[in-house]
Structure 1
């Protein structure tokens, strides 16, 4: 039988952080041109930022835990 290869994450924590910064910069740019008064746009952008932040934190924690496991072995008890 063939063994399944573990899937690589679609995005690294570093890439997620770049995405989060890009969305935060977009929020500032939107405010500069008055789009912050557009409720629909602002709400959508805020949702995207919240999602990107959750993805970044999740990926960062996973990468840290994986690194710790590789360096120190599995945590027991």
Structure 2
């Protein structure tokens, strides 16, 4: 996950988009981002991307060569 985090171009995440999280999920993600000195928007993007790939849901605009599979050792 950290490799995906550091490879993410933060400039791609500047547009404001709104969605809602439960307080528990938000607090958990916020805690992880602070503990690991990660920007919360990049962390959420990586977590969502990994979840979509895990369930084989295509990410719009992502090519087969660009996407990374989920491995148990990551």
Q: Output the TM-score relative to the length of structure 1.
A: 0.27
Question: Looking at both structures, which has the greater relative contact order when contacts are Cα pairs under 8 Å and sequence separation is at least 6?
Answer: 1
Larger radius of gyration: 1
Q: Output the TM-score relative to the length of structure 2.
A: 0.28
